[in-house]
Amino acid sequence: MAAAHPNWVLLAYRLPREPSTPRVTIWRKLRRLGVVQLIDGLVALPADARTKEQLEWIADEVLEAGGEATLWLGRPGSIADERRLAAAMAASVAAEYQAVLAGVKDVSRGAGSSGRRSLRHLERELQRISRRDFFPPPEREAARAAVRRLAADLEEVAP
């Protein structure tokens, strides 16, 4: 039998329909962590000390908001299932890296008010995305390279 080491952490949760504020807050936090949603009310992340802890805090927040939440450790039943999860997560961050690439193009065209400020913003955006980038797509290197190039260009224009 293959090693049954649980490599995913899952949060099953349900929130009251009203008020809607906690629903929105919690969904935003889950998105920021980079979860993949399996079905309504069931999200997953690759398991490590940090992801497990972050989902634990969110589970408590769901409970405090009058909802129900359970945390699970497990692994998909087949490699194909796991690959599908990883692909969905990679596609989602790939779109975010594309947005950074588009941002770099805008700045190069002089569309931004201040090139330097836009650069800082893009750098922080990259850092944020990489925190939830568990299965890096090719767009990651492309976005990083583009931001590095932009930084070098701005350095040349106004040292």
Kindly list the residues in this chain that would bind another protein in the complex (CB under 8 A). 25, 29, 32, 49-50, 53-54, 56-57, 59-61, 64, 127-128, 131
C-alpha–C-alpha distance, residues 97 and 141, integer Å: 9
- Given the complex with another protein, which of 64 and 68 has the nearer CB atom? 64
Chain CA centroid to CA 120, Å: 20
- Given the complex with another protein, which of 108 and 130 has the nearer CB atom? 130
Q: DSSP for 79-138?
A: HHHHHHHHHHHHHHHHHHHHHHHHHHHHHHTT-SS-HHHHHHHHHHHHHHHHHT-SS--T
User: Is the separation of the CB atoms in 10 and 71 below 8 Å?
Assistant: yes
C-alpha–C-alpha distance, residues 38 and 10, integer Å: 9
Least distance between another protein and beta carbon 71 (Å): 9
Least distance between another protein and beta carbon 20 (Å): 16
Least distance between another protein and beta carbon 108 (Å): 25
- Given the complex with another protein, which of 16 and 138 has the nearer CB atom? 16
- Given the complex with another protein, which of 7 and 25 has the nearer CB atom? 25
Least distance between another protein and beta carbon 76 (Å): 26
